[in-house]
Amino acid sequence: MNWRVNRLFRVIRAGLLVVAACAASSCGASPITSGRIEAALAPTFAHLVEVQVDWLGLPAMTAADFAVTASCRKLAGGAGSGEWGCTLVWKGPQRQTLTDSYDLFVSADGCYTATVATENLGGPLLKAKNGREVRNLLYAFEGCFDTT
């Protein structure tokens, strides 16, 4: 039985070495690019503002009304998973132009967690018009995008 286990381990080890060598020499560009992140973050943020406005009991607006644009760059430069910083420019409920920054952690599978880095979107909880406390969706949120 021992030689069988050894052979199996050898095959597995060889496979892992190939994967490791390929990963180390980056035989292909990372699919985590600023374009993909921006294209995912801007509409997600807009949809969340729409839900948040509804939860707060404010007059309804649609995601398109907020005209969100995002620009993202990786803190360490280049592309790939890790820490990213994004700036969102959007139109508030009174048509004023707003700018907010988010810290993103993007993982290799194309999912990210965004945490607000500026102060003007409030804390983790907000008070709705009817006095109830609701979760501030814009304080921290997550999303995924296609990496293929």
The footprint of another protein (CB under 8 A) covers: 1, 4-5, 8, 12, 16, 19-20, 22-23, 26-32, 40, 43-48, 50-51, 54, 80-82, 107-111, 113, 135, 137, 140-148
Q: In whole angstroms, how far apart are CA 79 and each of 5, 19, 66, 88? A: 40, 20, 28, 19
Q: How far is the CB of 35 from another protein (least distance, A)?
A: 15
* Of residues 58 and 109, the one with the C-beta less far from another protein: 109
DSSP state of 131: S
Q: How far is the CB of 99 from another protein (least distance, A)?
A: 19
Q: Cα–Cα distance between 33 and 89 in angstroms, integer?
A: 19
Q: How far is the CB of 93 from another protein (least distance, A)?
A: 17
- Residue matched to tokens 């296609």: 146
Closest separation between CB of residue 94 and another protein, Å?
Answer: 21
Cβ neighbours of residue 37 closer than 8 Å, sequence gap 6 or more: 70, 72, 84, 86, 104, 106, 112, 145
Instruction: Using the minimum distance from each CB to another protein, give the nearer residue, 127 or 135.
Output: 135
